């Protein structure tokens, strides 16, 4: 694949010229050290960098009082049809106890199956795959330890990537613009699956709004905007359950293993070029796999 263009080649030449001026023995080490070794050193440097930044604090979340745990178990046992969001509201209104939905779910009585007999999440995704998109972020470090964010939007049925972009400063406004660019009158999903990233404007609990005579509950600002402006139903996955969005998570792993892990990136633009080139290659494979007329298809 044709990765960097002429502009990137000029950047690479400048890098080696500066290295030669600053380090007289660069050519001897260049013969001994393989490119894979240099990339491995950079990964280890990133691990040491973040390990040092994360030291000093106590790991894990603090344990809540025992009486709060008993309240949660009693309510979830007496009302198996209630989810963590409803229990959060009950504890706050009746007892003045405030905990996050993820904490409530941790101490709820285990359940087997859906209390209302609803279809499972896997069945829902399979039945609506043609109408579902999924999105997620992944982070990539440059050679100078700057962090860039890669945003990916996937169509579930075909596994095709409908949009991808890179930024150093991800904001809610930037995410909205990505969805405007990804959709059109002929290309738009009915549902969007996403995680609970703080970039999406999390409220910490479900908030109810009245819109066009109907009451709707949202867990983040992005979902309200999607429903009101884009006419798309945002579907946030449960807290701490990345396996609820396995297709885009698997894509991120593939993108790392087959592209990102093989480069030392010098800039945000360098990452963008590599990612877009790889996605063009990936989408060609996805188109072949989803075409029933092709001998190598999965249908």
CATH of the domain at 184: 3.30.420.10
Residue 28 is predicted with a pLDDT of 66
Task: State whether 82 and 163 are in the same domain.
Answer: no
Task: Give residue 33's pLDDT band: very low, low, confident or very high (50, 70, 90).
Answer: low
Task: Give residue 153's pLDDT band: very low, low, confident or very high (50, 70, 90).
Answer: very high
Task: State whether 137 and 106 are in the same domain.
Answer: no
Higher pLDDT, 35 or 94: 94
Task: State whether 265 and 187 are in the same domain.
Answer: yes
| 250-270 residues labelled b (16+ CB within 10 A) or e (exposed) | ebbeebeeebbeebebbbbeb
Task: State whether 213 and 104 are in the same domain.
Answer: no
Whether 81 maps to a domain, the answer reads yes
Residue 27 is predicted with a pLDDT of 66
Residue 64 is predicted with a pLDDT of 86
| Mean pLDDT, residues 103-116 | 72
Number of folded domains that form the chain: 2
Task: State whether 221 and 141 are in the same domain.
Answer: yes
Whether 49 maps to a domain, the answer reads no
Task: State whether 79 and 161 are in the same domain.
Answer: no
Q: Above 80 in pLDDT, residue 40? A: no
> Which of 83, 103, 118 corresponds to the end of one domain?
118
Task: State whether 137 and 216 are in the same domain.
Answer: yes
Q: Above 50 in pLDDT, residue 170? A: yes
Residue 263's domain spans which residues?
122-290
82: Cα within 13 Å, side-chain hemisphere: 21
Task: Give residue 189's pLDDT band: very low, low, confident or very high (50, 70, 90).
Answer: very high
Task: Give residue 294's pLDDT band: very low, low, confident or very high (50, 70, 90).
Answer: very low
Average the pLDDT over each of 157-171, 181-195, 277-291 and give the range with the smallest value. 277-291
Residue 118 is predicted with a pLDDT of 57
Whether 38 maps to a domain, the answer reads no
Express each pLDDT in 220-232 by its tens digit: 999 999 999 999 9
| Mean pLDDT, residues 225-248 | 89
Task: State whether 174 and 90 are in the same domain.
Answer: no
Task: State whether 189 and 252 are in the same domain.
Answer: yes
Residue 37 is predicted with a pLDDT of 75
Task: State whether 112 and 130 are in the same domain.
Answer: no
Whether 52 maps to a domain, the answer reads no
Task: State whether 161 and 252 are in the same domain.
Answer: yes
Residue 177 is predicted with a pLDDT of 96
Whether 207 maps to a domain, the answer reads yes
Q: How many CB atoms lie within 10 A of CB 110?
A: 5
Whether 15 maps to a domain, the answer reads no
Residue 116 is predicted with a pLDDT of 45
Whether 156 maps to a domain, the answer reads yes
Residue 120 is predicted with a pLDDT of 79
Task: State whether 127 and 73 are in the same domain.
Answer: no
Q: Above 60 in pLDDT, residue 147? A: yes
Residue 3 is predicted with a pLDDT of 47
Q: How many CB atoms lie within 10 A of CB 72?
A: 25
Q: Which residues in the chain belong to E strands, given as ranges?
A: 132-141, 147-155, 161-167, 191-194, 202-211, 214-220, 233-236
* 3-state DSSP of 70-94: HHHHHHHHHCCCCCHHHHHHHHHHH
Residue 1 is predicted with a pLDDT of 43
> Which of 84, 118, 152 corresponds to the end of one domain?
118
> Which of 118, 137, 162 corresponds to the end of one domain?
118
Residue 84 is predicted with a pLDDT of 82
Express each pLDDT in 50-109 by its tens digit: 777 776 655 566 778 888 888 888 888 888 878 888 888 888 888 888 888 878 888 888
How far apart (Å, rounded) are the C-alpha atoms in residues 202 and 190?
21
How far apart (Å, rounded) are the C-alpha atoms in residues 45 and 144?
10
Quote the mean pLDDT of the chain. Answer: 82
Selection from 95, 61, 255, 79 nearest residue 159 by Cα: 255
Beta strand pairing status for 147-155 and 132-141?
Answer: antiparallel
Express each pLDDT in 4-30 by its tens digit: 455 555 666 667 667 767 777 766 666
Whether 37 maps to a domain, the answer reads no
Can you spell out the DSSP letters for 234-269? EEEPPTT-GGGSHHHHHHHHHHHHHTGGG----SHH
Residue 49 is predicted with a pLDDT of 80
């Amino acid at each position: 694949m044709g990765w960097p263009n002429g502009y990137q080649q000029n950047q690479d030449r400048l890098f080696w010229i500066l290295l030669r001026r600053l380090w007289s023995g660069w050519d001897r080490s260049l013969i001994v050290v393989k490119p894979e070794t240099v990339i491995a050193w950079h990964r280890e440097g990133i691990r040491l960098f973040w390990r040092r930044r994360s030291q000093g604090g106590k790991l894990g979340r603090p344990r809540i009082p025992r009486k709060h745990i008993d309240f949660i178990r009693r309510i979830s046992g007496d009302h198996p049809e209630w989810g963590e969001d409803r229990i959060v509201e009950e504890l706050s209104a009746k007892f003045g106890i405030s905990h996050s939905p993820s904490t409530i779910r941790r101490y709820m009585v285990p359940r087997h199956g859906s209390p209302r007999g609803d279809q499972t999440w896997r069945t829902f995704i399979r039945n609506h795959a043609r109408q579902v998109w999924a999105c997620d972020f992944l982070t990539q470090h440059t050679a100078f330890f700057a962090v860039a964010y890669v945003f990916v939007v996937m169509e579930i049925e075909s596994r095709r990537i409908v949009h991808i972009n890179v930024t150093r400063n991800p904001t809610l406004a930037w995410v909205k613009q990505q969805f405007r660019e990804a959709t059109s009158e002929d290309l738009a999903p009915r549902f969007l699956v996403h995680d609970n990233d703080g970039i999406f404007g999390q409220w910490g609990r479900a908030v109810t709004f009245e819109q066009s005579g109907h009451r709707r509950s949202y867990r983040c600002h992005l979902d309200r905007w999607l429903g009101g402006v884009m006419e798309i139903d945002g579907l946030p996955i449960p807290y701490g359950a990345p396996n609820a969005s396995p297709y885009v998570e698997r894509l991120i792993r593939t993108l790392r293993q087959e592209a990102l892990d093989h480069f030392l990136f010098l800039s945000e633009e360098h990452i963008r070029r590599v990612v877009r080139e790889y996605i063009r290659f990936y989408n060609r494979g996805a188109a072949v796999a989803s075409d029933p007329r092709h001998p190598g298809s999965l249908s």
